[in-house]
Amino acid sequence: MKRLTELLDSNREWAEKINQEDPAFFETLAQQQAPEYLWIGCSDSRVPANEIVGMLPGELFVHRNVSNLVVHTDMNCLAVIQYAVEVLKVKHIMVVGHYGCGGVAAAIETEPHGLIDNWLRHIRKVYQKHRELLSAWDNSHQQLDRLCELNVIEQACNVCETTVVQQAWANGQDLKVHGWIYGLSDGLINDLEFNAANAESVEEEYKLAINKVEKLRELVQNSEKTQNARSLWDKVRSIFN
C-alpha cells in the first residue's frame, strides 16, 4: 500500500513551523477547546473555514457537508449543533454557502447523479419554493448564485428551528444564527443579513433576507443584468440602510 509521504512530510514541516513561531501553541491547544463560533459549511475543498476568517485551530468549531444543508433527520449535523450549543456554549452559528456550489447546481439538473440525489432533494425543494423569484434570472450562472443564496437562508432558518437552538433561546442563552455566502472568485464573504438572536426574530429575519433577494430581482429587471453578485448586494444594502 502506498503511503501518503508528501502529506506526512508537509505535516511535519507545518508542525515545526508552528513550534518555531509559538512553542506553547500545541500544548495550549490540547488543553481546551473554547470556540465562540460554529461554522456549518460546504464540503468543497476550496472553502477552508478557518483560513477564510483568519482564525487558528480551536477558535472555530466546524461542520461540513455537501451544500451546507441542515436537515432535521441528520443526526450528524444535529449532534454537532447540540455539542456546540450545550457544551461549548458557542455564541454564533454561521451557515456558510459559496457561489458556484456544485451540489446546488446538481440539484436542479435533469440527469441523475446516483445516491447523492436523495440528499440534493432538499435543495430541489428550495428551488421549487422560490421558482417564481428565480425565474427573473435567465442567465444560468446568475440564477445559480441566487439559488445558492436562498439555500443558505433556508438552512439558517432550519438551524433556528432545531430543538437545540429553540431550547437554548428559551433558556436565555446568548446565541445568534447567521447566513453567509463565500465568493470563490474574490475570497470575500457576503453577509446575507439573516441574523436571528431569538425565536421571536426568526420569521422577521427570514422575511427580510428574502425581501433583499427580491430587491435584487428588481435591480435585474431595471437593466442591472451585467452586475455581479457582490455589486448587486452592495446596492441592495444601500437601499435598505
Catalytic residues: 42, 44, 46, 98, 101
Distance (Å, whole) CA 162 – CA 26: 34
The answer to whether the Cα torsion of 181, 149, 186, 113 is positive or negative is positive
- Scan for cell 446596492, then name that residue: 235
Angle formed at CA 44 by CA 39 and CA 49, multiple of 5 degrees: 30
Distance (Å, whole) CA 162 – CA 238: 33
**Pick from 240, 203, 205, 233: nearest CA to 219:** 233
Cβ neighbors of 197 (< 8 A, separation 6 or more) are 175, 176
**Pick from 69, 61, 53: nearest CA to 187:** 53
